[in-house]
Amino acid sequence: MTEQPGRLGGERQWQYRFLDAHVDRVRYPDGSAGEQVLIHHPGAAAVLPVLSDFDGPDPQVLLIKQYRYATDGYLWEIPAGRLEPNERPEDCARRELLEEVGCRCERLVPLTAIWTAPGFTNEKIHLFAATGLTQGESAREADEFLEVHTLPMSRVLTMIRDGEITDAKTIATLLYVAGFDGVLRG
């Protein structure tokens, strides 16, 4: 009988701020063993701010255009951020909505959760949509360089199709909301 797959051992290679990299010895489903690099991440939440009735003819949403060093340029994204210790994903989504676009919401709709790159990290992002927005004051972090844009959903979907929006969490959230009729009702 083959033993359960999973971690057999390993050690930390480095740790910086919220990231923790390990090289682990792993048992695979066929019983063999090997090494895997795993970057531990505390998880994150991302939120699509919806400005108008989503059942209307062309709902308006907020997107941010943010500088990302890893991509050597700007990406269209939805507000997002990592979970603080013991923070619930819902609370993180509300915090990021306020910090990045300066909005509070009456209603936060849980959508789904995604694994960002399961080949090397355990980062899981919880996706939400926010409705009933009221404007407040943003409080961006020192390394956040972004612009907030109001766009109709039809334009956003075209931007995905044309490769202008390439951020995975943003694409997943927008297509989830667009693909499941009534997901924001209730």
On the question of pLDDT at 63 being above 80, the answer is yes
Mean pLDDT of 106-121: 96
**pLDDT digits over 118-176, tens only?**
999 999 999 999 999 998 776 666 666 788 999 999 999 999 999 999 999 999 999 99
Q: Where are the domains of the chain?
A: 6-40, 44-179
Active-site annotation holder among 99, 144, 147, 164: 144
Instruction: Give me the residues paired with residue 34 across strands.
Output: 26
Superfamily of domain 44-179: Nucleoside Triphosphate Pyrophosphohydrolase (3.90.79.10)
- Sign of CA pseudo-dihedral 101, 107, 111, 113: positive
Segment holding 154, helix H or strand E:
helix 153-161
pTM as predicted: 0.91
Among residues 185, 167, 186, which one has the least CA distance to residue 44?
167
Instruction: Give me the residues paired with residue 80 across strands.
Output: 46
Task: State yes or no: is 144 an active-site residue.
Answer: yes
On the question of pLDDT at 19 being above 90, the answer is no
Among residues 114, 121, 115, 118, which one has the least CA distance to residue 40?
121
